[in-house]
Amino acid sequence: MRRDEIVEGDALHPGDPVVIDRYSTAARFNHWMTAASLVLLALSGLALFHPALYFLTGLFGGGSNTRAIHPWIGLFLFLGYMGLFFRFWKVNLWTPTDGTWLKKLHVFLIGHEEDMPEVGRYNFAQKAVFWWMGILIMISIASGLVIWEQYFAAYTTVDQKRWAVLIHSVAAIVMICIVIVHVYGALWARGTMTAMIKGRVTGGWAWRHHRKWLRELAADPKANRGTATPAE
């Protein structure tokens, strides 16, 4: 049986309702560390982006401290994302279904998910978040190093720094937009937050949102922890 959509640790426990382990403790810890650094980066970055938000530097102990700490949180975000990347890159690979799914995006948006093609562990939108965040984090790290005045000022020209600071701001804005969509999506689809909080979802949730993943889990003797002992 193919296990294209299954990640190590995914398991199905029959019952009423069916309970599925979607995110291990390590994966959730990894996710929330990444999320926390993103929030801190957004707050400290926005504080230096617009004067109206300069008061946010108060959260970090003043302007100089905000300036000093922001890049370090950036490195932390990078590590966090790399963790998520190696954990989930395989199940975020492009499949032909994603193209079909995107064409019917409007159907998805009005809430008729039953009319959408069956998707695996992640749908098109989730994969887009995964890859775009990766690309934008790489861009932010690269441009961020260029404008990390304290340690890297000497390595680039002023004009390169001007490009970097512009690119860094635009990448950050796009990331904040993606995070808004990401968080909204998780809140919109009821039953999703438990995946990242407790690590579990119900079978019905998987049936509705990730049926291909559910089918693989059910058909996989290792993942389907049925009542009977697995066939030898």
**Cβ closest to another protein, residue 48 vs residue 82:** 48
**Cβ closest to another protein, residue 200 vs residue 208:** 208
**Cβ closest to another protein, residue 75 vs residue 82:** 75
Q: How far is CA 46 from each of CA 28, 37, 200, 208, rounded to the nearest angstrom?
A: 26, 14, 34, 38
The least distance separating another protein from the CB of residue 210, rounded to whole angstroms, comes to 11
Q: Which stretches of the chain bind another protein, using CB under 8 A?
A: 12, 14, 16-18, 47-51, 54, 57, 62-64, 66-68, 109-111, 113, 147, 149-150, 153, 158-159, 161-163, 165-166, 169-170, 173-174, 176-177, 180-181, 184, 188-191, 202-209, 214-215, 218-219, 221, 224, 226-228, 230-231
215 contacts 3 by C-beta, under 8 angstroms: no
Q: Which helix (H) or strand (E) holds 207?
A: helix 203-209
∠ CA 66-72-77 to the nearest 5 degrees? Answer: 115
- Given 31, 70, 168, 182, the catalytic residue: 182
41 contacts 118 by C-beta, under 8 angstroms: no
Distance CA(222)–CA(52), nearest Å, equals: 55
The least distance separating another protein from the CB of residue 97, rounded to whole angstroms, comes to 19
Could you confirm whether 70 is annotated as catalytic? no
Question: Catalytic residues, which ones?
Answer: 182
